[in-house]
Structure 1
Amino acid sequence: MSLYQHFRQEEHAFIDLATDWKELVENEYRPKLTDFLDPREQHILRSLIGEKETVSVAFSGGSLNAERKRALIYPDYVTPEPDDFEVDVFEIHYPRKFVQLEHPKILGSLMGLGLKRGKFGDILSDGGRYQIAVCKDIADYIKLNFTAVGKTEISLSKPAEADRLEQREMWEEKMTTVSSLRLDVILKEAFHLSRAKTKPLIQNERVKVNWRPITDPSFSVEEKDMISVRGFGRVSLQSIEGETRKGRYRVMLTYPV
């Protein structure tokens, strides 16, 4: 049975890449370390490797419960150690009394350095402090060139292990019904919006499904899909529980709280 049939067409390219990683480890019998992967990519890679193979996979993102993580694909003779994932964490220092940083601005400034998104992981905050996880091979470049967020000058330092921030997102469940699994219909129910408002949000590239921009309102949402809407937050279609007598889908939505 082909793995392709379990995933969307746009995910096939990543399946091919992950297959190449797996074959490299099998053929050369040495570990392969990836850049940071989003949770959907981690799920695909975990599905591809399986549990009864000659190779295994482990993940680490530099902090407890990290969302974006590097994957280490390794042969059975290897026992992964924390240092094998080559993740550095930086704390961002800025004049907190006078300015307030925001996640999108930090992300935009990092992308402005010409880095691929996979070269850095989570951007964590406790409301005042901010930390970023990066691939060790670009840590020196980051420290030298990441000197401002917008117009705010910053500096970086490496926090002690005990001072690293953690991902503490909790999720709340909501059972509801929807007329279809179209993206615009799910958004309407999830965020209490009119269909007239959801369509422009999608078409103006303010909506992502599984960390990928989606511009088609009729896009079909599936179980475990993560939807993020700029300015509104995130929601996951955790499960589809069946249909009602009137032909509506009974779904479980989960929200970060």
Structure 2
Amino acid sequence: MESVYQHFRKEEREFIDKVFGWKQIVTEQYRPKLTDFLDPREQKIIKTLIGENPDVHVQFFGGYKNAERKRAFFYPDYIQPTLDDFSMFAFEIMFPKKFVTLSHREVLGSLMSLGLKRSKFGDIIIHDETVQVMVAQEIANFLQLNWNKIGKISVRLKQIPFEDVFSHEEEMDISLITVSSLRLDAVLANVYHQSRQKIKSLIENSLVKVNWKIVEDAHFEIAEDDVLSVRGFGRSKVLAIEGKTRKDKWRIKIGIQK
């Protein structure tokens, strides 16, 4: 097991253990296992650990083609997965659009205030005036009964078919940067053109996330495919670490959200 752990970050060990537990359910009990919604980093860990395993297969679904958060369905050979296996609903939030608008933060905050775990709902999509949210089937009735306000705005939920969910590709500006180290503060300072001290302060004040989790250590080392977000500055992704320059600096390809 230690040989597996060494390929991942220390804080990911707990999730790795969960993945092996889900795999064990399929191999030993010969039955499927459905997870909650997972972020892209967790999905990548699963793909790496399961690989081309002949005894355990896994598929992901988040409600639409380019979904970020998805449920994983682990299954043995005898099962052919369908959308029903993912136990997921798509809802459109109905509200008086002529008078108000809703932001992603307001919708997310309202959901969390109901006492729900973040893992029980997927992407929140805002397209023009339309707001849609993917939710686990097990909380759907609870939401329909209890989610009637976002702030002071009265809302109601309308279930929609998955084909009516807005699919969108995140647009990014691609740039190549060179940094003295792979430390989080060094990379973010370069990406967002801020001083290391400014970035360090943001990190220490819990305003920086790596792969959707708050990181408060400026020395944290970034890796390929990491998604970085800084409150007030936006989101970026480490597309590739292309090695070192002659001056011993790291060359990194970064995608910055438009």
- Normalising by structure 2, we get a TM-score of 0.96
- DSSP-derived class of the 2:6 partner: helix
Q: Which residue of 2 aligns with 1:74?
A: 75
Q: Please tell me whether residue 42 in structure 1 is matched to residue 43 in structure 2.
A: yes
**1:237 lines up with 2:251 in the alignment:** no
Unaligned segments of structure 1, at least 5 residues: none
The answer for the alignment partner of 1:7 in structure 2 is 8
Cross-structure match for 1:103 = 104
Deviations 1:8-52 (A, max 9, x none): 000000000111010011111011001100101111111111113
The corresponding residue for 2:33 is 32
% identical aligned pairs:
50
Question: For residues 133 and 20 of structure 2, what CA distance do their matches in structure 1 show?
Answer: 29
Which consecutive residues of structure 2, in runs of 5 or more, have no partner in the other structure? none
SS in 2 for 1:2: helix
CA RMSD, Structure 1 to Structure 2 (Å): 1.2
Matched residue, 1:83: 84
Q: Measure, in 2, the Cα distance between the counterparts of 1:67 and 1:89.
A: 14
CA distance in structure 1 between the partners assigned to 2:244 and 2:47 by the alignment: 30
The separation in 1 between residues aligned to 2:54 and 2:48, in whole angstroms, is 11
Mean Cα displacement is larger for which, 238-247 or 131-140? 238-247
Does 2:249 match 1:248?
A: yes
Q: SS of the residue aligned with 2:240?
A: strand
SS in 1 for 2:5: helix
CA distance in 2, matches of 1:173, 1:81: 36
1:85-113 CA distance string (max 9 Å, x none): 11101101112222221111111111111
Checking the alignment, whether the CA contact within 8 Å between 2:177 and 2:191 is kept in structure 1 is no
When structure 1 is superposed on structure 2, of 188-197 and 5-14 the one drifting more is 188-197
Q: d(CA) in 2 for partners of 1:200 and 1:97?
A: 40
* Distance apart, 1:2 and its partner CA: 2.1
Larger mean CA deviation between 175-184 and 156-165 belongs to 156-165
- Aligned equivalents of 2:185 and 2:255: distance in 1? 17
State the match for 1:118 in structure 2. 119
1:217 deviates by 1.1
Point out the more displaced range, 71-80 or 165-174: 165-174
Match of 1:128 in 2: 129
Work out the number of aligned pairs and report it.
Answer: 257
Read off the aligned partner of 1:32 and give its amino acid letter: K
Point out the more displaced range, 129-138 or 96-105: 96-105
Helix, strand or coil at the partner of 2:241: strand
Counterpart secondary structure, 1:36: strand
- 2:90–2:161: 8 Å Cα contact kept in structure 1? no
| 1:160-239 superposed matches below 5 A | 160-239=161-240
| Consecutive aligned runs of 4 or more in structure 1 exceeding 4 Å deviation | none
The separation in 2 between residues aligned to 1:237 and 1:169, in whole angstroms, is 14
Q: Is the 8 A contact 2:175 2:254 kept in 1?
A: yes
Deviations 1:168-204 (A, max 9, x none): 2133311111111111111111111112221121111
Partner SS, residue 79 of structure 1: coil
- Contact 2:90 2:162 (8 Å CA) reproduced: no
Cα distance in 1 for partners of 2:52, 2:240 equals 24
- In structure 2, how many angstroms separate the alpha carbons of the residues matched to 1:161 and 1:20? 30
TM-superposition CA deviations, 1:194-224 (whole Å, max 9, x none): 1222112111111100111001111111111
2-side partners of 1:145 and 1:231: how far apart?
A: 31
